[in-house]
Amino acid sequence: MAGLAESGSNPDVDLLYDINGLAKDAPRWFDRVVEVVGEYGLLLAMVLLVVCCWWGVRRRGEDDAAVSVAALIWAPLAAAVAVLVNIPIRGFVERPRPFLDHQGLEVLVSGKTDYSFVSDHATITMAMGVGLFVASRKFGLAGIGIALVEGFCRVYMGVHYPTDVVGGFALGTAVALLLSPVAMALLTPVTRAVEGSGWGGVLIRARGAGSRTGSGSGVDAGSGAGAVPGARSAEAEERDLAA
C-alpha cells in the first residue's frame, strides 16, 4: 500500500502537494494558526458542539429528550470505537507519513512517527459529526462541516495524504451509522432510567422544562399539582353560563 504514494504522478500525491503548497505561500502566523486548529482546536470545537447540543436538548425538555441524549452520548463513543477499529487498519496497511516518502513538503507538525492511513483526526471528527446528526440535524451538519475542515487541515499541515482523510471520513461514518441502532438500543434505556431518577433527571431534562401538557401524560394545565385550589378554567365557567 505504501507504493500507492511513491509516484509523483499519482493524483493523491499531486493533490497533497497542491494543498500543502498553500502552507509555503501563507504567512508564518497563519500556518501556526492552522497547526493549532488542526491539531487541537477542531477536536475541542466538536466537544463543545456536543455539549451545546446537550444543553439545548436539556433546556427544551421534550418527551424524547432521553432518546436525544442517548444519541449525543453515542457521538463521542462512536469516535472512540472508530479509533480502536483504526488500530488494526493502520497496522495492516503500514503507510508511512507523506513527508517520509516525498521531499519538499511543508510539515507544520513534527514528531509524527506512526502510520498515516487512516487519519485519526478525520475519523474522530467525522464519527462525532455523523453521531451528532443522529441527534440533531442542525448540530450534525455543523459537526460534519468541522470534520471537513479538519481533513483539509491535516493535508495542509503535510501529515496526511488526501486519501488518508477520505478513509477516515468513511471509517467514522460507517462506525457511527452502522453501530447506531445497537448503541441506541443499549443507551436509551439507561438515559430513560436516569431521567426518571431523582438525582440524575436534571442531566436529561432541566427542572421546569418541557411541559408535558398534551403529551399523553394525562396532566391538564389547569388541574396540575401547581393549580390553585378552587380555581376553575375559563372553559368550565363558559359551560356553567351556557347551562
Place of cell 462541516: 145
Tell me: the pLDDT tens digits for 180-229?
Answer: 999 999 999 998 988 887 777 778 877 665 544 333 333 233 333 333 34
DSSP structure string for 155-181: HHTTSS-HHHHHHHHHHHHHHHHHTHH
Q: What is the spatial distance between Cα 125 and Cα 43, in angstroms, rounded to a whole number?
A: 7
What was the pLDDT predicted at 209? 59
**13, 102 contact by CB (below 8 A):** yes
Close Cβ partners of 86 (under 8 Å, ≥ 6 residues apart): 118, 120, 123, 168, 171
Q: What is the spatial distance between Cα 14 and Cα 7, in angstroms, rounded to a whole number?
A: 9
Close Cβ partners of 203 (under 8 Å, ≥ 6 residues apart): 58, 69, 194
Close Cβ partners of 225 (under 8 Å, ≥ 6 residues apart): none
Q: What is the spatial distance between Cα 9 and Cα 167, in angstroms, rounded to a whole number?
A: 20
Q: What is the spatial distance between Cα 163 and Cα 14, in angstroms, rounded to a whole number?
A: 12
What was the pLDDT predicted at 60? 81
Q: What is the spatial distance between Cα 204 and Cα 171, in angstroms, rounded to a whole number?
A: 30
**Distance set, CA 63 to CA 42, 87, 112 (Å):** 32, 39, 47
**104, 72 contact by CB (below 8 A):** no
Place of cell 393549580: 227
Taking alpha carbons only, the member of 20, 6, 9 closest to residue 158 is: 20
Tell me: the pLDDT tens digits for 69-108?
Answer: 999 999 999 999 999 999 999 999 999 999 988 888 988 9
What was the pLDDT predicted at 231? 40
> Percent of the chain beyond pLDDT 70?
81
Tell me: the pLDDT tens digits for 227-239?
Answer: 334 444 444 444 4
What was the pLDDT predicted at 230? 40
